[in-house]
Chains A and B, each alone.
Chain A
Amino acid sequence: MVQRYVLEKIDDPKLRVYVVWGPMLGGETEEDAREATASLADSRGTHFWTGAHTLAEALRAPAGLQEELAWDTFLLFPPEAKWGDVPPLPAYVMHVGKRLPPDRRLNGEKLFDQVKKLAGAR
């Protein structure tokens, strides 16, 4: 739905989406990830596979999580954000099933609004 709710509706050529596929549940494989890439085929998207939780740990604090890893999270960064030794703070976070505010639960229309706001602010 990121494809349909966001990428198909926002034609900003500078918009980028990075999908990090990984072992959130424990048994996922790189082949699973290869199949899943078809779900987001926009030229502005880049797909990564990791067999580790390193990034999910590194993005835990920026996502506002305390103990949970940042799997099933969606972090939106403004154009000026740079990733130094640690990831920058996102402008907006959405999640699925995390101990985060329920109004931040993943929603395609809200995500569209937030991306539009940031992309349009440039």
Chain B
Amino acid sequence: MTRRIVLTGWAAAWLLAASASAAPQAPQAATPVAPTRIDGLWEGAILYDPAQFEMETVVEIAYDAQGKLVGTIDIPSQQMKYYSLRDFQVDGTKISFKFYKDSRRRGPNSPFLFEGELSPDGRTMQGMFTGFYHEEMGIDRVPFRLQRVREAGDERPAEPEPPLHSLSARGEELRESFNRDVGGTRLVMLLSPT
């Protein structure tokens, strides 16, 4: 049932990719930051197939008390939340970092690598991600794009929790909602939540 590595059944993951990526999206503020500043809260996506399959990604990077870069990554479609980032390297505007995770294809504790570059205004980092293997596409190296949306350590907005309605055996509740909303365009999606 899991899609953590093999990535079958992509629609829910597609749906989950809800933050900045290939599509233009204005950052919260246009204030430039130093281009070599990698610390902050970054949101975006790993772009397997832009507009078709994107993995929502949140990266938070900060300096610890010893001045060393530390960080975490969230990839909801892989059930990853506050997963540790390691091996930061910054060389001017060039940056790289990794997380380590078991991979069915590459073995236990395999490195998953981000290699990229910070934009001149310091608000975007983009480059290539090497990690999850996409069986259909036969690739494990794809572009990523992240936008700096907050400072590291800032409180993140609470995740919304829309109500979930249980359907009866025949799904009458959907039909009732559908007919109640006649007069509007309606989109019905049937998805796996995992």
Report chain A residues within 8 Å CB of B174: 18, 20, 48, 55
Asked whether A76 is an interface residue with its Cβ less than 8 Å from the other chain, the reply is yes
Query: A4-B18, A4-B19 are known contacts. Are A22 and B190 too (CB-CB below 8 A)?
Result: yes
A74 touches B185 (CB 8 A): no
A2 touches B9 (CB 8 A): no
CA A24 to CA B182, docked complex, whole Å: 28
Asked whether A61 is an interface residue with its Cβ less than 8 Å from the other chain, the reply is no
Report chain B residues within 8 Å CB of A58: 171
Number of A interface residues in the complex (CB < 8 A): 73
Query: A46-B177, A50-B171, A81-B182 are known contacts. Are A22 and B192 too (CB-CB below 8 A)?
Result: yes
Asked whether B181 is an interface residue with its Cβ less than 8 Å from the other chain, the reply is yes
A-B contact pairs, 30 of them (CB 8 A): A2-B15, A2-B189, A14-B181, A14-B184, A16-B186, A21-B164, A21-B192, A22-B190, A22-B191, A23-B192, A24-B9, A36-B16, A36-B191, A36-B193, A41-B160, A48-B164, A48-B173, A54-B169, A54-B170, A55-B171, A73-B190, A74-B11, A76-B185, A77-B185, A79-B182, A79-B186, A81-B182, A83-B175, A87-B175, A106-B14
Q: Which residues of A contact B (CB under 8 A)?
A: 1-6, 12, 14-28, 30, 32-41, 45-50, 52, 54-56, 58-59, 70-83, 87, 90, 96-97, 105-110, 115, 118-119, 122
